[in-house]
Amino acid sequence: MEDVIAVNWKEKVKEYAASSEEMGALHPEILALAYQENWFKLFVPEVYGGAGKQLPEILRLEEELAQTDGSLGWTVTLCAGAAWFAGFLDVTLAEEIFADPKVCFAGSGAIGGTAVKTASGYLVNGFWKYASGALHATIFTANCILKHSDGSDVLDESGNPEIKSFILKRDEVKIISGWSYFGLVATGSHAFEAVDLAVPENRTFVINNDIQVTDLGFDYPFLQLAETTLAVNSLGMANHFVQLVEHSFLSRSGLNRYTPAQIEFFEAELDACKRNLSDLRTVFYKCFDESWDQLINKGRISELKLTELSKRSRLLAHACRSTSDTLFPYCGLDAAKKETEINRVWRDIHTASQHALLTFLD
């Protein structure tokens, strides 16, 4: 039964993926599917209506989503990832937020704003870019530097400017159109801003600190959480691209365009790329699963394992990009035509590859 359900949602996503790109946002049919499947609440605690999944299962689902459509996988990953902060929110606030059946978080990891302490909370001003899912999000997360009323920085115990994360509601921010990039078009990753916004004290939070729920995994380190979820998105997109390349080349090779030696060369290239991705995927998930087991069974993940996992995430992401570049020349002009599926997937891979977390191997 689960296999049938998976096929059904994949077929629906494939049916509307091109339309999503034309719209610059997830098609309403895909959004309805995301709400139905609880994808935007993958990391949300069950007590707030979350999906009841743990990180090992979520990573593999995100890979599957991205393989079906890059924009869908990326949007779900970023929105669901932002909703992971639910585990650190004031309980009363969380109950209020998640009473909305279509709740969806968006946000930015950048420190794009300032917050001045007031008698009842904070006065927030700022501008944050690249909020995937901004067009349908109900909640925005935003990082701010704390300021005194005279404009000077509030310093933490180490003498550094203090940073706080804030929960902002949809009607409190302005969406600034600016997602004009050539890939991941349907993520609608626009900017948002807040101007002289009064935010109550209970709408601040600190990740991996003062966990408010008992669900397993909320103390998983945020850096590796972000790296692994982004890496599996690249993996899903790359696997999709490989499938399309193989189909494209084989359909053209039947027209006697290539010599037997050229076909043999392509098949060797393709097999090498497939094998490399498969091997890296196996090692990546083995490393991740070991980190998860350490957290659940020992209460913490060793620094050695975390360092290894970061490295595996980067190696995987880099291999996905290099695979697409290696195979692109064998795809014919259809791969350069922006309306085609294969071109869309190639653009998605290269847009995802620009995320700063996975840029460098070291």
Domain spans of the chain?
A: 2-88, 103-205, 222-358
What six digits make up the tokens of 80? 């669901």
**Positions in the chain whose pLDDT score sits under 50:** 1, 4
CATH topology of domain 2-88: Butyryl-Coa Dehydrogenase, subunit A; domain 1 (1.10.540)
pTM (two decimals): 0.94
Burial of 39 (0-12, 13-18, 19+ CB in 10 A): buried
- The strand pair at 174-176 and 190-200 is best described as antiparallel
Sheet architecture: strand order including 105-117? 174-176, 190-200, 121-131, 105-117, 139-147, 163-169, 204-205
Q: What are the backbone angles phi and psi of residue 127, rounded to the nearest 5°?
A: -140, 125
Same fold yes or no, 103-205 and 222-358: no
CATH of 222-358, one of 1.20.140.10, 3.40.190.10, 3.40.50.2000, 3.30.1330.40: 1.20.140.10
Query: So what's the pLDDT on residue 209?
Result: 62
Question: Residues 235, 283: contact at Cβ < 8 Å?
Answer: no
For helices 70-83 and 341-352, give the axis angle rounded to 10 degrees: 40
CATH architecture of the domain formed by 103-205: Beta Barrel (2.40)
